[in-house]
Chains A and B, each alone.
Chain A
Amino acid sequence: MQIPFTVAARPDTGLHNAKLGVWLFLASEVMLFGALFSSYILLRVAAPEWPHGSALLNVPLATVNTIILISSSVTMVMSWASLMLKDFSKYRRYMGLTILCGLLFLVVKGFEYGAKFSHGILPSEDLFYATYFTLTGLHGLHVVGGIIVNFYFWGPGSRMWKTEPQRFTNRVEVAGLYWHFVDLVWIFLFPTLYLL
């Protein structure tokens, strides 16, 4: 038994199953982060005073992190494009870079957290830090998830390239969609928490 349209696109929808699946999953992720952003807005407008993010958080470090994450999105697209050009060794290089960028992002984030923790600032400090740690923490978990998936496709999962190249290319594309979403969430988080 084989499930139809796992590799080829269904003619009338123009999609293969996993692509539709990941778009739906991302829709639910939008609702998850949408609810958190809405909560942030509600709490902030109700607060008598709210600190300016740039006064408390490290804006230069976060800017560096933004650049790192955007670059990783570019390398992710390049890795998929390399597969489309049937250049597997180039794919490995770009995917490896994507994973490294993801790890680098987490390391920088770790330094940011560490600086706060060492001053005794925890999520329980006040509502500003509570939202900061919760939102960036949840985003960090999404980055970790993305790195694990990307690592699988860089390493053991890439064996599929030899047997089913089209299916493997689809998988990388779908993983890329998720990775861009994680990137996009950060692009909203950065100004919301650090600049506004």
Chain B
Amino acid sequence: MQHTATEGYHAGAVHHEQGFLKTYVFSQDHKTIGLQYMMTALLFLFFGFTLMLLMRWQLAYPGKAIPGEAFALTPGVLGLAALLIGVVSKRKLAALVGVVFLGIAALVWYLVSDETLFPEGVMVPELYNSFGAMHGTIMVFLGVVPLAVGAFGNYVVPLQVGAPDMAFPKLNMASYWSYFFGGVVMLSSFFLPGGAANSGWTSYPPLANIATVGQTVWLFGMVLLITSSLLGSVNFIVTIVQLRANGLTFMRLPFFVWAQFVTSFLLLLAFPPLEAAGILQLMDRLAGTSFFLPSGLVISGQQLGVSGGGSPLLWQHLFWFLAHPEVYVLILPAMGIVAEVIANNTRKPLWGYKSIVYATIFLGFMSFIVWAHHMFMTGMGTVISTFFQTTTMIISIPSVIILTALVISLYGGSIRFTVPMLFALAFLPMFGIGGLTGLPLGLAPTDIHLHDTYYVIGHFHYVVAPGTIFALFAGLYYWYPKVTGRMMSERLGRIHFWGSFVCMNGIFFPMLIQGLAGVSRRLYDGGAQYSHAQGVLQWNEVMSISAFALAVFQVPFLINFFWSIKKGKKVESDNPWDATTLEWQTPTPPPHGNFTSLPEVFRGPYEYSMPGSSRDFTPQNVR
């Protein structure tokens, strides 16, 4: 990493050469923290995906021995290769990633070769449950959100607002390490007696209250993750409000900053109720209270020896009060990235910038009063259901406004089909499918049929996987040259894109078909025991093969990602995409303190192809 001695723009600031630990491990620089978040989150995404691959084997071939060697060997070989490359060419990062991949391989091997977990090579149902719970937890809380907010937010937001760093660098570091230890706690729970949490990522009581000790550790892990996101969100909001450059008014902020701003408010205000719920569940599990346990609960024919009087429904209310805004935490930063990439690659201003911003703010408010549409089946009453299905229909309007504005932005543009643009373009229809399939779930009458079926799984995976994760890939390819000073390979990027695009649909579209046929989620055998599922069972194999192929198509990405750090095509300027926003007006990579001179902003974020201008883009800091 290039480490120039360029000072921040404050006179008298002296750059101290710091040791390895302070520069790379306990760094307070928002860019390094962003990269730490990125590497950690990518590894967790890979691990969560591996859990799902093991589950998909069981779903496609229930009762057949798992080829454990293949599952352990793939990350093993990748890890060994990275480690060798790292040792031979003395690249610490590659070696570190190699070690982590070997660790994943060892963990998979440890699990697969355990006779109690995989008797005769077949996963036991308890392990399947635990993998399901941990896949959800890891993907949402340790993978996608840290990548979208922790990594991209940390790296890009201070640059886009023209700040030398985040407002509270020490809190920023604390936020990362709290996240890291939360992740370690979650992973360690796999080695506990009874395994990791196995009550689903939603942890519904009373099941979660009487589950094995893994659930307690899950709750402690969540407390650390909530702390991390609390510290992060305070930091983001203060940075955006206080550290904007001169002339950068709120309506001149890039949409990505707006998305992170609203997201931070959601994290700040929606997570504490889950923390409260977590505290209550911890009390139930450790101190013997019964906040979530009703009176007279009988388990395995035995009366549970607690005072009772609690309400399992209370947990669901508290949980979904977080988890519905969490859906928008997952999607808003993705929309922000897509907006940046689309404006840059259509070479036109974003269509309806103000409408998008107002829609996002409205969406943020509304997301706090739709949570009970996850609970139509709990018998909470038709009046409440009517209220929540009405608000749910209302919240679909701002989402449609944002998506429509992004689609109209394409009209009349001379589009550059770069790799980030391919991912951003694919985001639009994929998120569209995810959003439209959500409407029948938001209406109580149709939800009665679809609730807890594979249709739900298909719906939210369309939003998060080919939706958000595609947008995150777009962001990775888009900002990579700013971080490394080199471009990623276009050819490998295209292979990665088209392979992932086809496979994602191969995985998730059949889920909608199975769900409409009434196949429930969380079934250990993928529905084989039910007569009504027989007509759609053949899709299980299609989905699993697509999932394995999706894993294969991530290999070009991994190669591209590491190979391009040293061998990619060098960028010719600090602004290789001819972009307008402030992050491209810094040196490449941005030094400690970011800007060489105090940036001042004179115009909106997307002034592409302005009449009378000599070039087809006018950066924000051009007078």
Contact = CB atoms under 8 A, between A and B. Distances in A.
A27 B269 contact: yes
A123 interface: yes
A1 interface: yes
Given A1-B165, A35-B272, A43 B279 contact: no
Given A47-B309, A124-B306, A32 B238 contact: no
Contacts of A32: 272-273, 275-276
B216 to A, nearest CB: 16
B106 to A, nearest CB: 39
A193 to B, nearest CB: 15
Interface of B: 7-8, 10, 13, 15, 163-165, 167-169, 230, 233-235, 237-238, 241-243, 268-273, 275-277, 279-280, 283, 287-291, 306-307, 309-311, 314, 317-318, 321, 592-593
Contacts of B311: 42-43, 46
B243 A36 contact: no
A124 B309 contact: no
Interface string A112-149: 00000000001111110010011000100000000000
Nearest to B239: A17
A122 B287 contact: yes
B273 A20 contact: no
A24 B309 contact: no
A1 B242 contact: no
Interface residues of A, number: 39
Contacts of B291: 39, 43, 127, 130, 134
A21 B8 contact: no
A10 interface: yes
B238 A28 contact: no
B290 A130 contact: yes
Nearest to B270: A31
B157 to A, nearest CB: 14
Listed residue (B8, B167, B242, B272) with the most chain A CB atoms within 10 angstroms of its CB? B242
Contacts of A47: 309
Nearest to B321: A35
Nearest to B289: A130
A189 interface: no
A163 interface: no
Query: Chain B interface mostly helix, strand, loop or mixed?
Result: helix
A4 B243 contact: yes
B167 A17 contact: yes
Given A35-B321, A43-B309, A126-B309, A20 B238 contact: yes
B33 to A, nearest CB: 14
A15 interface: yes
Given A17-B167, A127-B310, A3 B13 contact: no
A36 B288 CA distance: 18
Contact of A35 (B165, B268, B277, B288): B277
B273 to A, nearest CB: 4
A20 to B, nearest CB: 5
Interface of A: 1-5, 10, 13, 15-18, 20-21, 24-25, 27-29, 31-36, 39, 42-43, 46-47, 122-127, 130, 133-134, 138
A130 B281 CA distance: 12
B309 A1 contact: no
A29 B272 contact: yes
Given A1-B8, A28-B268, A32-B273, A127 B165 contact: no
B234 A3 contact: no
Among the interface residues B7, B238, B306, which one has the most CB atoms of the partner chain A within 10 A?
B238
B328 to A, nearest CB: 16
Contacts of A25: 230, 234
Nearest to B230: A28
A151 to B, nearest CB: 19
Given A29-B272, A31-B272, A134-B280, A13 B241 contact: yes
Given A35-B276, A35-B321, A39-B276, A24 B10 contact: no
A127 B234 contact: no
B485 to A, nearest CB: 21
29 contacts: A1-B7, A1-B8, A2-B164, A4-B10, A4-B242, A10-B242, A15-B242, A16-B242, A17-B242, A20-B238, A21-B167, A24-B233, A24-B238, A27-B269, A31-B273, A32-B272, A32-B276, A34-B272, A35-B276, A35-B277, A36-B280, A43-B311, A43-B314, A46-B311, A122-B288, A126-B309, A130-B289, A133-B287, A134-B289
A3 B273 CA distance: 32
A126 B307 contact: yes
A20 B243 contact: no
Contacts of B307: 124-127, 130
Contact of A134 (B269, B279, B314): B279
B40 to A, nearest CB: 24
B269 A31 contact: yes
Contacts of B165: 1, 3
Contact of B283 (A1, A21, A31, A123): A123
A1 B272 contact: no
Contacts of B242: 4-5, 10, 13, 15-17, 20
B238 to A, nearest CB: 5
Contacts of B10: 1-2, 4
A124 B209 CA distance: 14
